[in-house]
Structure 1
Amino acid sequence: MPIIRRLPVLLLALVCLAGSAPPAAAQNPFSDFFGSIFAPRRARPPEEPRPRPIHRPKPKPAATAPNPAIPGAPGGDVQTVKQAPTFFVAVIGDSQANMLAQGLAEAFAGDHRVAIVNKAKEDTGLVRNDFYDWRAAARTLLDGPQHFDAAVVQIGINDNQKLRLGGEPSPEPLSKPFNEIYAKRAEELAAIFQEKKVPLIWVGQPIMRSESLSNAALVFNDIDRQYAEAQGARYVDLWEAFSDEDSVYRASGPDVNGVIVRLRAADGVHFNKAGARKAAHFVEPEIRKLLEAALQPPETPAGAAPEAPATPAPGVPAMPGGNETTPPAAPEAAAPVAPPPKPIAGKIESLTETAVSPGGALAAPPVGRAQPKAIEAAPAQPGRADDFAWPAR
């Protein structure tokens, strides 16, 4: 029988011998080999748990005395004390002014000195005085208990309609009689703020998607600019800020950070939040100019009496030559004389011209100094470098 066919029989015989062999015989290589294959695996001993880091609590700071500057605040604690605003700006007008007030509030959110007070009313204007009279409302606002340091007005998106004049016929919108009445009302509104000495900033209307509304806004802007500035108001134009280079309406454009975003609402008239912030960006500098002017100390008028000298403290002797409190002024030292300017170039001297005296004679040596003797050159030796004899020697 071939060896290959006998191999299973031999393996079976070896297994039987390994099972019946005594313990001492189980240590042969064959038993070790088959034992490593068929013996059950032993479980690994469990690993010892690793020690966890101990987190010790930080020591509590020692108790400190209360801070006298902030009542009830413990020492060492920093508490932000919100300062009350000192410069109040009223925003009046229609629903467009309402969005502008929100943009101004965001623009001055980091300046605690300025407070934006939104007094705008939706669906209002200068045409329908029977619905809401802004001239009467402005007088009531300025005569009220709240003080305003400046005011901002934006109005006109609801004024492209007929005037209500009682029993008289109503002129057509944008006609000459209509524009004359509208200009008078705008001038009267601006004059109220000038009378109350409240600086006024008049903001024009932006371009709109509707062509008819844009044409009406252009007319109202021209009237407002002319008659509001005549009453001392500052005018802010927003037309180019919300249109492209061809003066065409665009709903999107660069915001205050230069990012192209949508700036107008879906109606093509109002601002959205980003547009209101951009509109406030052009009004903010005018408000800051008024703020800085209000913070400057008042100037002493010409011809006013000088302040009286202060009373000297007890025991302080009077200074001779001066008043009772201040020593006499020390004499001013003479200002040092500036040296003459240096010439650009010095005197030009000739390198070959013989120096002569003014009379034409040769310059004489200084008094007491002997005339230097002429130095005679030694004769040149034949073949030396200074031997120029010809023919060569």
Structure 2
Amino acid sequence: MLRFLSRRRRLLALVCALSVAGPAEAQDAISDFFGTIFGGRPSNAQRYRPRVARPPQIRPKARTAPHPRERRIVKENPARPPEAQGAADAVVPQAGDPASQQQVGSFVVAVIGDSEAAILGRGLEDAFSADRRVAILNKAQDDSGLVRDDFYDWRKGAQALLEGPQRVDVAVMQIGINDNQPLRQDAGRALEPLSKEFNEAYARRIEEISAFFRDKNVPLVWVGLPIMRNAALSKAALIFNDIARQNATAAGAHYVDLWEAFSDVNSVYKASGPDVNGAVVRLRSADGVHFSPAGARKAAYFVEPEIKRVLATLQATPPAQPEQPAAVSPDAPAQPAAPSETEPAVAAPQPPPVPTLVGKVLPLNDQALSPGGSLASLPPPANAVRAPGAPAKAGRADDFSWPAKDAPAPPK
């Protein structure tokens, strides 16, 4: 009886607690009540055990070997002076290790010029990646030009390249993005950019560089500048291209124009355009001056034909090798003497001529005649031609009289 009253009191206390407490506290009260009847209830510390966060596992990245095409590019660039802040964000090929410099192909293409030429060299490397005979030698210098010869003199650099130990079969030059600045003369005065005196001095330097390669019998391909996003730079690039086209070609160089290839139909700058495969991609970098990787490959597409032409010429006419006399052993049998000049040498039989699949082209309206012949002709019969004004013979085709006359019966 006492146990029943005790449970009844607890039940009344539970009902009062539920009427006053919230939902969460009511749930805990119910759990405590049934826990006293059916067993103990796990504590909050046991139910909500905090999870210990594991530190993230950092796996080391696998080191990949450099691309074989990057090994073939030899980049030689001296340390940049702190005052040279030209194309700082240009995409320049990385220098190869000393082992890569020994893997030079049999046909060497030297790329010279500024940072734009260095990116063009990357495009040429992609263009000739399948031809192991061609090796791209990157001799471009960042922030250089034809105006600031105190920073880097390309006239001396071209002479050093041609007179150095490295063999060069063809040179590709692109320069001018850093030349829109005053040109300093020896007397200390500076020429205003794009003035008449500036253009004349600039033209002389282009002609001197081109003459160095002409005198050494090394073909030079002068690549023009593309259109720029900045209007002032674009105007200067257009003038530099005109000067290079006139003076470089006069000195024997071949000029390649890129202006229309990197502009739209209205000759307006466009950062994107069709690549060599026809897909519309980004061709220029964020600065509006340099090429993107796809743009460098497109620029190389217009330089490829001239390089392949020089390569085909050198492969067609290999240099003559002097014949070395064979060493004669004293125990060797005597060789027959060569025929003297008085004895006629027996000529080797000539192979028969190869028949051609295409014959002589003759006009369709030409009369077929045999060699030295003429067309056979017979004198016309006496009654074949009707004299003007004479009456037509009855029954003949030229008899248009009406009514028609009866034709005489043919003779039996």
TM-score (norm. length: structure 1): 0.58
Task: Name the SS of the counterpart of 1:109 in structure 2.
Answer: coil
Q: Residue deviations 1:270-303, cap 9 Å, x none?
A: 0000000000000000011111111122799xxx
1:125 aligns with 2:154: no
Match of 2:190 among 165, 170, 192: 170
User: What does residue range 85-124 of structure 1 map to in structure 2 within 5 Å?
Assistant: 85-124=105-144
1:111–1:315: structure 2 CA closer, same or farther, 3 Å change rule?
A: same
Structure 1 position 151, deviation (Å): 0.3
Partners of 2:196 and 2:133 in 1: how far apart? 44
State whether residues 93 and 120 of structure 1, in contact with CA within 8 Å, keep that contact through their aligned partners in structure 2: yes
Q: Residue deviations 1:160-218, cap 9 Å, x none?
A: 01112255321211111111111111111111111222110000000010000000001
User: What does residue range 287-298 of structure 1 map to in structure 2 within 5 Å?
Assistant: 287-297=307-317
Task: Name the SS of the counterpart of 1:224 in structure 2.
Answer: helix
Q: Which amino acid in structure 2 is aligned with residue 323 of structure 1?
A: P
Match of 1:270 among 269, 290, 307: 290
Match of 1:137 among 137, 157, 167: 157
Partners of 1:169 and 1:276 in 2: how far apart? 37
Q: Residue deviations 1:18-60, cap 9 Å, x none?
A: xxxxxxxxxxxxxxxxxxxxxxxxxxxxxxxxxxxxxxxxxxx
1:248 aligns with 2:268: yes
Q: Residue deviations 1:112-163, cap 9 Å, x none?
A: 1111111001100000011111111111111111110110000000000111
Corresponding residue of 2:73: none
Partners of 1:346 and 1:260 in 2: how far apart? 73
Structure 1 position 323, deviation (Å): 2.3
User: What does residue range 1-393 of structure 1 map to in structure 2 within 5 Å?
Assistant: 85-297=105-317, 314=336, 323-326=344-347
Partners of 2:139 and 2:241 in 1: how far apart? 21
Partners of 1:273 and 1:208 in 2: how far apart? 17
Partners of 2:147 and 2:269 in 1: how far apart? 25
State whether residues 92 and 151 of structure 1, in contact with CA within 8 Å, keep that contact through their aligned partners in structure 2: yes
1:346–1:229: structure 2 CA closer, same or farther, 3 Å change rule?
A: same
State whether residues 184 and 191 of structure 2, in contact with CA within 8 Å, keep that contact through their aligned partners in structure 1: no
Gaps of 5+ in 2: 1-102, 321-334, 351-368, 383-412
Identity percentage over the alignment?
58
Gaps of 5+ in 1: 1-82, 301-312, 330-336, 351-393
Q: Residue deviations 1:217-272, cap 9 Å, x none?
A: 01100111111111100000000000011110011111001111110000000000
State whether residues 173 and 222 of structure 2, in contact with CA within 8 Å, keep that contact through their aligned partners in structure 1: yes
State whether residues 93 and 121 of structure 1, in contact with CA within 8 Å, keep that contact through their aligned partners in structure 2: yes
Corresponding residue of 1:309: none
Partners of 1:91 and 1:178 in 2: how far apart? 26
State whether residues 107 and 281 of structure 1, in contact with CA within 8 Å, keep that contact through their aligned partners in structure 2: yes
My pick for the range that moved more, 206-215 or 172-181, is: 172-181
State whether residues 172 and 221 of structure 2, in contact with CA within 8 Å, keep that contact through their aligned partners in structure 1: yes
Structure 1 position 342, deviation (Å): 9.0
Partners of 1:338 and 1:315 in 2: how far apart? 53
Corresponding residue of 1:368: none
Q: Residue deviations 1:296-330, cap 9 Å, x none?
A: 22799xxxxxxxxxxxx8599x9xx982443799x
1:239–1:346: structure 2 CA closer, same or farther, 3 Å change rule?
A: farther
Provide the aligned length of Structure 1 versus Structure 2.
251
Q: Which of the pair has more CA radius of gyration?
A: 1
Corresponding residue of 2:17: none
State whether residues 93 and 124 of structure 1, in contact with CA within 8 Å, keep that contact through their aligned partners in structure 2: yes
State whether residues 146 and 179 of structure 2, in contact with CA within 8 Å, keep that contact through their aligned partners in structure 1: yes
TM-score (norm. length: structure 2): 0.55
